[in-house]
Amino acid sequence: MLGLWSAGSSPNLMRLHTAFRTELGDVLAAPARLRTLGVEPLDFHGHATTEPSVICWMPAASVFFRDPDGHLLEFLAMLPDRPRPALRIVPYSKWVTVVQEANDA
């Protein structure tokens, strides 16, 4: 999968990361596991988190973190649900609630 993102107006601004596709269970377990290893799990926006973010237009669950050299890495799992691009990026717990409410309707 190739992801292309806008980098803003600065001509020398470039942010790269490497994503590893994995199973949802691994992505869900990643924040706690990373913390036990002394690594700060990050959400889509680069803030510390305790759960994955969901990229709703895909949809996919992801957790970011930095390796010892500062490289940005991501664990990503595609979700079986239909995309909901209007939601943009949400915590996984909110995604589960939205999907459950849609299924109950």
Q: pLDDT class for 33, splitting at 50, 70, 90?
A: very high
Residue 22 maps to a domain: yes
Residue 77 maps to a domain: yes
Residue 78 maps to a domain: yes
Domain that holds residue 61: 18-104
Residue 91 maps to a domain: yes
Structure tokens at 87: 């939601």
For residue 86, the model assigns a pLDDT of 96
Residue 12 maps to a domain: no
For residue 98, the model assigns a pLDDT of 95
What would the mean pLDDT of 33-59 be, rounded to a whole number? 96
CA 89 distance to own-chain centroid: 8
Q: pLDDT class for 7, splitting at 50, 70, 90?
A: low
DSSP one-letter string for 33-58: HHHHTT---B-TTS-B-SS-EEETTT
CB 60 within 8 A of CB 75: no
For residue 36, the model assigns a pLDDT of 98
Residue 5 maps to a domain: no
CATH at 25: 3.10.180
Q: How many domains does the chain have?
A: 1
For residue 3, the model assigns a pLDDT of 62
Residue 67 maps to a domain: yes
